[in-house]
Structure 1
Amino acid sequence: MKAFGKILGLGLLGLLLIIVALGFALTHLFDPNDYKDEIRQLARDKAHVELTLNGDIGWSLFPWLGLELHEASIATLNKPTEPFADLQMLGLSVRVLPLLRREVQMSDVRVEGLNLSLVRDENGHGNWQDIGKPLPAQGTSTPSTPAATPAGEPAAQDNPTERAVKLDIDSLTVNNARVQYSDAKTGQSYSAESIQLSTGAVHEGVNIPLKASAFLSAAQPNMKARTELSGELRFDRKLKRYNFEDLRLSGETSGEPLAGKTLTFAAQGQLLVDLAANVASWNSLKVSANQLRALGELNVRELDKTPQVSGGLSIAQFDLRTFLDGIGQPLPATADPAAFSKLELVSRLAGSSNSLALEDLAVKLDDSSFTGRVAIEDIAKQALRVQLKADKFDADRYFPAKSEAAKGATAARQAEVKQQEASAVAGAGSTPLPTAPTQVSWSTDKLLPVDRLRALDLQADISFGALTLDKLPITDAQLKAKGQAGLVTLETLRGGLYNGSFEAKGTVDVRPAVPQIGVNTKINRVPVEHFIKSDSPEQAPPVKGLLTLSSDLTATGNSQKALVDTLNGNATFTINDGVLVNANLEQQLCQAIATLNRKQLSGDPRGKDTPFEELRGSLVVRNGVASNPDLKARIPGLTVNGQGDLDLRVLGMDYRVGVVVEGDQRAMPDPACQVNERFVGVELPLRCRGPLELGAKACRLDQDGLGKVAAKLAGNRLKDKIDEKLEEKLGDKVSPELKDALKGLFKR
């Protein structure tokens, strides 16, 4: 037995030596390069691909079945001269004995210089769709549908008895690979170059370390990016479950959309894809883009249908203006250069491939806080839906900054007003009448983004605890607007204003070549001085009081100047409990009476406000000029009537005003203008002309009209003297009826 065992051992050793010798002989005496044609034909018959082998083939048999290909390419059979893939070298080896157990145990797999070209033609057909398809037999057509599985026989992929192949790879390395995709129908082209991929041991159900990098590019628009990816991949093919733990993606990108700027980005988190449940998630998400930092999570369901996205997002405070400038999308210059310098956001996400909603939104923009919902219901149609509440918001900070031309026009007008004001002495009426203004301060800067408004689909409902608009502090403001196909409708903008209220409605129609605007405004008992503030802080408003206004106006154009030049409509106004600031109508009246009395005022003119109970009238606006035919004011002891024009194009006025002395005969400031019964009921004429900012300071005695009044008063005085003489002469000698008849002769 002992000898038998020794003999058996020697026999097995001999058999092993024979197998090794046979393997050595096969791998050294048999050269696969001599059989390239047979290998190509085998690839055509079995794999239905056109295989080109320009380099050498190296191989080994035992204990590793090794293969090494050089300078190889693969094409489809219908286009054998247009390879969709080629490589410089492919090296791999597989253990022979585990193959018998349906286990693939590989050593290091190495791919060098892989070049994959994917092309979709004008009909939308991709060259990869013909891989593995045999050529149709002559005289027959390729079946449009795959052959049905015979009844009663389960499909191969669904056969529960078929055992899955077990993968076991020591490592996978891909160097200098390239993938290119082009679409002839759309003209789009994408590529990934210098692809580097390396992994640790590849085993199903365990974490696989992975690192990858590539240079990505796209055309239309031209974009380039450098990317790096790392993490640990785990997969379970039976459960169709894939985990990418500690995923880290980073890189930088530049191109036409970034206007030559560079965006540095990074993202990390835990990625899960479950194809059995058709869900995916990205938890512990961290994203950065230049100085922007964000945290969140994303969940996707219905991967097999229309994917639905949900999750949460939190963006830390950052400078939006600097961020957008850093990616080549600078914001327009704003009235406040510090606007958009602070932005932070927290929200829940919901969306799909063509929609996105920010639910439970909380935003802080500079000094304002917003809560509510913002959604793009249809990205392709730009269907924007906004429902927000704000604590406070200063809209003036975010309006476009004035251009240099607009600043120059404003400065020129201010200079003109100051020059007129310097020569206007309130109350005396002795200086010349101011000339009509000529300087236009309205800007020609573009107001509306017409192209954006034409494409906008908007529904907005925004409320403000406090809203500053055109320097007006509005409380409890409510804004509702909608836009569709170039027609933007302001359904309402209302709120409290200086213990009064206002409401505005209107439309902006940008469908025509020239925008058309219509506005309906109602103001109720709001201090008028806040509407007529001068740009110069030292210049006081010309009038104060509580304004009640109703207007219906239209205009066309896309600048302040164009809108004012084409302004048309109607308005009515009333100002109660007001004051004409630094304008002493009493002094003007005194000057008129002194002139009629042929006396000189003894004192210098004194600046003094003129209070009034009511100032009212109506306006008819035609092409920027408002006609006011019925101006009326009630001042204690006086009644004022007037008519004239307000030229809104140059903010000028030209009025003829009549001041009627009532029965009140209070002491006047100068003995030369004491009121007596002769002046009661007489309308003393004034002419007011000049910039609106001067108000009543631009009023002077109308000398022509005053001459007519003097003539009338002289006639009345002569009549009174004649009546006195008749009374003395006739006495009681004639009847009263005859006296009246004789006096009436002198009235004619």
Structure 2
Amino acid sequence: MNRILKFIAVLLAAVVLLGVIAAALLPRFIDPNQYRDEITQLVYDQSGLKVSINGPIDWSIFPWVGLSLEDVSIEGANSSQLAQLGSAGVSVKLIPLLSKRIEMQTLELTGLELTLVKNAKGKGNWQVSAPKPSEQQTSRGQEPSSTSTPESATASSPLKLDIASVNVSGLLISYDDQVSKQKYIIDQASLTTGAIRNQQPFDFKLKAHITIPDLVINSLISGEVTFNLEAGRYDIQNLKVSATPDVNKGESLSIVGNVQYQQTPMLVKGNLGVAEFNLANLLNQIKIQLPPMADPKALNKLSFDSHFSTDGESLTADKLQLQLDSFTLDGNFRMSSIDRGDMQFSFTGNDLNLDNYLPPATDNAEAPDEEQSTQSGSEKPSSGKEHPLIPEEMLRGLDLDGSMKLASLTVAKFIFEQPSVDIKAAQGKQEVKIGSRFYQGTIDMTSNLDVRQSGNPKMAASAVLKNISLEALSKPIPDLASLQGDVNAGMKVHTHGQYASVLTKNLNGNIEFKIDKGVFTDANFDKMVCEGVAKIRKKELRATDWGSSTEFTDLSGTFVIKNGIASNDNLIAALAYMNLKGDGYVNLVDRQLDYHMGLNIRGEEAPDSDPACQINKEYVNVTWPVRCHGDLGDLKCGIDVKRLTETIAEIAENRLKKKIEDKVQGPVKDLLKGFFK
């Protein structure tokens, strides 16, 4: 028995020894360079690419299975240069492969150059087809046999990696798009890693110099990776993806964060953000000209941060934070079903001043040329073919429920306090609500859109302005400094259609306004009127305590809109001694206006009127008319001749009636009174 065991041991030792000797001597007796033609032919048959191996091919079997190549070139379509490789080498340890472990020395790739060209017809030089096999080759071939794999063979232990490092250098990729006449180049590219082992973190760094039209940037991707192949988990920490213009002191745009990925069940979570950078400086370096802004430090600070997770079916971002200069916006976002596209979000922010990003105000702005402004203002809308205004298909599938609130919003010097926006959209119906405190009053607006009926969307809007102080509003509008009062207004309109002309023609609703407690603070118009009348009558005013302001007894009006025509018959601005009245219409469909305004002096009808400024009874409440009419871009205003004629005729009639009444007494006088009524 001992002899048998000894014989088997010697036999096994001999087999192992022969294997080692064969592995060591085989590369010496078999030169892989003899198979260049077979290798290039095999590549050509499978891909249609012509490969030339101009340098030596080296290989080894034991203890490392290794292969190295040098000076390899590949031709693309029309014999163009597609790729060039300086050298490549890889070595894998043989024995660990038997237990599905990959132990690899440094993987090196040097001097890889890819030259990609898309010609004027839109075809790339990499688009080649493998040659069709000849009939003889086809006849010699055999149908692939289907062999069943034993279940035990498929159930295998997970793959284990052990790679000393990866080193790729001298990578160059050029892309010439002859259709758009644009060229792109990636050069000086390299990839380096630490030791790649299962469940052990390793560093990686990918750098490249990128040239695109009118821009050259340096890019960097780096981080620390840990993976568990058996559990299907991958973790990237300290991820950084940056792009920096290739200029002196280039401003970097960097995406930073940590990402975790799990295969089963699928889960991706982590935090990603944009590190703080100077956006204005970056745009200037990449030659994007910004318009002048009121705040010279505008766009100097921008950053973003997010915490998110997704299982492929839903998406949750429980933290979203945007920092723009001094403005901060915080919120969250959720999609319960990515397939359905439903979205819920909520954002809150502090003070946002949009004026900082608008052109600075100038006191000596040049006035537009009068002739030019008249011509441009008189231009009528293009009568060309109209296009649909509302993207029905997109809005019909919209599923939204979101809100945003700010501490304040400043636009064109107007300050909106605690503004809020609420948006809801579902099943083809959308609603937007906007509310804000505004100069001691409030603004509330609601708009609705219904796109359920194809080709005929329906829209409605309403707005309510309550107790907005003109005195407070005079701060952003200095021209209102001489006015006081509280503005109250309301609007309700609705329309339907898809084109601008149809929407205008179908517009219906009403707009009303009123100013309560109205006062002119800089002048007493009642005194001015009385002084004028007294001067004409050559009499002295008795009153001396007129005061320096003028109170409105009424300032209000209502516009009724029917089929795109807004009409008004009750505009009134009433003072103690005179009234300004207005009536007319604005045709929004034809862009025409015809509006009448009239001034009348009340005289002795005014309360506590001074005898010196009382006018003749025949002129009391007589309206002296003015008319504006014509195209909205070219209005003509002047005396309303028609109404003035009617006014003069009325005055003459009153005078004639009075003369007759003075001469006729008794029953005849009463009869004439009835005649002139």
Instruction: Please confirm whether the aligned pair reaches a TM-score higher than 0.5, indicating the same fold.
Output: yes
1:393 corresponds, among 339, 352, 355, to: 352
Q: Which has the larger radius of gyration?
A: 1
Aligned residue for 1:276, secondary structure, equals coil
2:172 equivalent in structure 1: 215
Task: Assess if the C-alpha contact under 8 Å between 2:210 and 2:218 holds in 1.
Answer: yes
Q: Distance in 2 between matches of 1:453 and 1:329?
A: 35
Instruction: Determine which of 324, 330, 344 is the counterpart of 1:371.
Output: 330
1:473-530: CA deviations, max 9, x gaps?
2222220235799x99452111221221111122589999999975422111223578
Q: Provide the residue aligned with 1:147 in structure 2.
A: 147
**1:619 counterpart letter in structure 2:** F
CA apart distance, 1:611:
1.4
Q: Distance in 2 between matches of 1:102 and 1:509?
A: 62
Distance of aligned partners of 1:710 and 1:210 in 2 relative to their CA distance in 1, 3 Å threshold: same
Task: For 2:319, give the aligned amino acid.
Answer: D
Alignment of 1:574 onto 2:572: no
Question: How do residues 255-654 of structure 1 correspond to structure 2 at under 5 angstroms?
Answer: 255=212, 260-290=214-244, 291-292=251-252, 296-303=256-263, 307-324=266-283, 339-351=298-310, 358-374=317-333, 386-395=345-354, 411=368, 440=377, 459-481=401-423, 489=430, 491-506=432-447, 519-527=461-469, 539-540=479-480, 544-553=484-493, 569-580=509-520, 585-586=525-526, 589-590=529-530, 593=533, 609-621=549-561, 626-636=566-576, 641-644=581-584, 654=596
Q: Deviations over 1:554-578 (max 9, x none)?
A: 69999x9999999875212221111
Q: 2:620 aligns with which of 673, 682, 687?
A: 682
1:155 is paired with a residue whose SS is helix
Kindly indicate whether the alpha-carbon contact (under 8 Å) linking 2:65 and 2:92 is maintained by their aligned counterparts in 1.
yes
Alignment length, in residue pairs? 596
**Is the CA contact (8 Å cut-off) linking 2:110 and 2:168 kept in structure 1?**
no
- Judged with a 3 Å threshold, the aligned counterparts in structure 2 of structure 1 residues 269 and 642 are, in CA distance, closer, same or farther, namely closer
Any gaps of 5 or more consecutive residues in structure 2?
Answer: 1-20, 44-49, 75-81, 117-122, 131-136, 245-250, 382-386, 633-637
Partner of 2:204: 247
RMSD: 6.7
Say yes or no: does 1:744 pair with 2:670: yes
What is the correspondence of 1:174-253 to structure 2 with a 5 Å cutoff?
Answer: 208=165, 210=167, 212=169, 214-216=171-173, 223-226=184-187, 227-235=189-197, 241=198, 243-253=200-210
Write the distance in 1 (CA, Å) between the matches of 2:155 and 2:378: 79
Contact 1:438–1:650 at 8 Å: present in 2 too?
Answer: no
Structure 1 residue runs without a partner (length 5+): 1-20, 45-49, 75-83, 129-134, 167-203, 236-240, 417-436, 693-697, 727-739
The letter for the 1-side match of 2:190 is: E
Counterparts of 2:100 and 2:582, CA distance in 1: 107
- What is the deviation of 1:391? 1.8
**Contact kept in structure 1, 2:105 and 2:163, CA below 8 Å:** no
C-alpha deviation, 1:277, in angstroms: 1.5
1:666 aligns with 2:619: no
Identity %: 22
Question: By how many angstroms is 1:271 displaced?
Answer: 1.0
Given the superposition, is the C-alpha separation of residues 216 and 515 from structure 1 closer, same or farther in structure 2, using an over 3 Å criterion?
A: farther
- The amino acid that maps onto 1:586 is D
CA distance in 1, matches of 2:36, 2:346: 71
8 Å contact from structure 1 (residues 345, 363) kept in 2: yes
TM-score by length of 1: 0.58
The answer to whether the 8 A contact 1:441-1:650 is kept is no
Q: Is contact 2:70–2:88 with CA below 8 Å preserved after alignment? A: yes
Kept in 1: contact 2:526–2:576 (CA 8 A): no
User: How big is the shift at 1:580?
Assistant: 4.7
Deviation at 1:140, TM superposition (A): 6.0
CA distance in 2, matches of 1:744, 1:469: 66
What letter corresponds to residue 155 of structure 1 in structure 2?
Answer: A
Question: How far does the alpha carbon of each residue in 1:191-237 deviate from its partner, in whole angstroms, 9 at most, with x for none?
Answer: xxxxxxxxxxxxx76864756452346688975434333331231xx
Aligned to 1:730: none
* Aligned 8 A contact 1:640 1:659 in 2: no
Contact conserved, 2:468 with 2:486, CA < 8 A, in 1?
yes
Aligned residue type for 2:218: T
Residues in 2 aligned to 1:66 and 1:374: alpha-carbon distance in whole angstroms? 51
CA shift digits 1:349-375 (9 cap, x unpaired): 334779865432232223322111246
- Contact kept? 1:638, 1:659, Cα under 8 Å: yes
Call closer, same or farther: CA 1:90–1:567 in 2, change over 3 Å. Answer: closer
Q: Deviations over 1:584-608 (max 9, x none)?
A: 542575378569x7658999xx997
Deviation string for 1:411-457 (max 9, x for gaps)? Answer: 468999xxxxxxxxxxxxxxxxxxxx99849999xxx9989998685
Label 1:278 to 1:224 Cα distance change in 2 as closer, same or farther (>3 A): farther
Residue 398 (structure 1) shift:
5.4
Counterpart in the other structure of 1:158: 156
Question: Contact (CA 8 Å) 1:481, 1:488: kept in 2 or not?
Answer: no
1:588/1:700 contact within 8 Å kept: no
Describe the shift of the 1:51–1:567 C-alpha distance in structure 2 as closer, same or farther (beyond 3 A).
Answer: closer
What CA distance in whole angstroms lies between the structure 1 residues aligned with 2:421 and 2:650? 54
Q: Is the 8 A contact 1:284 1:295 kept in 2?
A: no
Q: CA 1:376–1:449 in structure 2 vs 1: closer, same or farther (change >3 Å)?
A: farther
Q: Counterparts of 1:51 and 1:127 in 2: how far apart (Å)?
A: 14
Deviation of the 1:73 alpha carbon: 10
1:367, 1:459 → 2: CA distance?
28
Is the 1:413–1:439 Cα contact (8 Å) retained in structure 2? no
CA separation of 1:396/1:715 partners in 2, compared to 1, >3 Å: closer, same or farther?
farther
**Conserved 8 A contact 1:665-1:675:** no
For 1:303, give the aligned amino acid.
Q
How far, CA to CA, are the matches of 2:592 and 2:294 in structure 1? 24
Counterparts of 1:651 and 1:394 in 2: how far apart (Å)? Answer: 37
Q: Distance in 2 between matches of 1:101 and 1:313?
A: 39
TM-score, length basis structure 2: 0.63
Given that residues 207 and 232 in structure 1 are in contact (C-alpha distance below 8 angstroms), is that contact kept between their aligned partners in structure 2? yes
Secondary structure of the residue aligned to 2:214 is coil
Higher normalized contact order (CA 8 Å, seq sep 6+, divided by chain length): 1
Q: How much has 1:341 moved relative to structure 2?
A: 3.5
Name the SS for the 2:332 alignment partner: strand
Shift of the 86–618 alpha-carbon distance from structure 1 to 2, 3 Å rule, reads: closer
Do 2:560 and 2:566's aligned partners in 1 also have CA atoms closer than 8 Å?
Answer: yes
In structure 2, distance between residues paired with 1:496 and 1:382: 34
